Amino acid sequence: MSVIRNDWTREEIAEIYNSPVLELIYRAATLHREHNDPQEVQVCTLLSVKTGGCPEDCSYCPQAARYQTDVKVHKLLSTEEVMHKALEAKAAGSTRFCMGAAWREVRDNRDFDRVLEMVKGVNGIGMEVCCTLGMLTEEQAKKLKDAGLYAYNHNLDTSEDHYEEIISTRTYDDRLNTLENVRNADISVCSGGIIGLGEQDEDRIGMLHTLANLPEHPESVPVNALVPVEGTPLEDQPRVSVWEMIRMIATARILMPRAMVRLSAGRIMMNLEEQALCFMAGANSIFAGDKLLTTPNPDVVQDEEMFQTLNLKPREAFKGAAAEKLVRVEG
Ligand code: SAM
Ligand code: DTB
Ligand code: SF4
Q: Which ligand is nearest to the CA of 135?
A: 1
pLDDT at position 222:
98
Q: Which residues of the chain have pLDDT under 70?
A: 1, 322-331
Instruction: Write the DSSP string, 137-185.
Output: -HHHHHHHHHHT--EEE---BS-HHHHHHH--SS-HHHHHHHHHHHHHT
Of 31, 17, 44, 35, residue with least CA distance to 264 = 44
Ligand 3 close to Cβ of residue 232 (< 6 A): no
pLDDT at position 284:
98
pLDDT at position 2:
74
pTM of the model: 0.97
pLDDT at position 323:
57
326: CB partners within 8 A, 6+ apart: none
Give the model confidence (pLDDT) of 236-256 as tens digits: 999 999 999 999 999 999 999
CA of 284 to the centre of ligand 1 (A): 20
| Secondary structure of residue 230 in the 3-state scheme | coil
pLDDT at position 325:
57
Give the model confidence (pLDDT) of 69-113 as tens digits: 999 999 999 999 999 999 999 999 999 999 999 999 999 999 999
Structural domain spans, the chain: 10-326
* CATH class of the domain comprising 10-326: alpha beta
Ligand 1 close to Cβ of residue 229 (< 6 A): yes
**Within 13 Å of residue 274, how many CA atoms lie on the same side as its CB?**
14
Ligand 3 close to Cβ of residue 157 (< 6 A): no
pLDDT at position 199:
98
Q: Determine contact, residues 29/281, Cβ cutoff 8 Å.
A: yes
pLDDT at position 320:
78
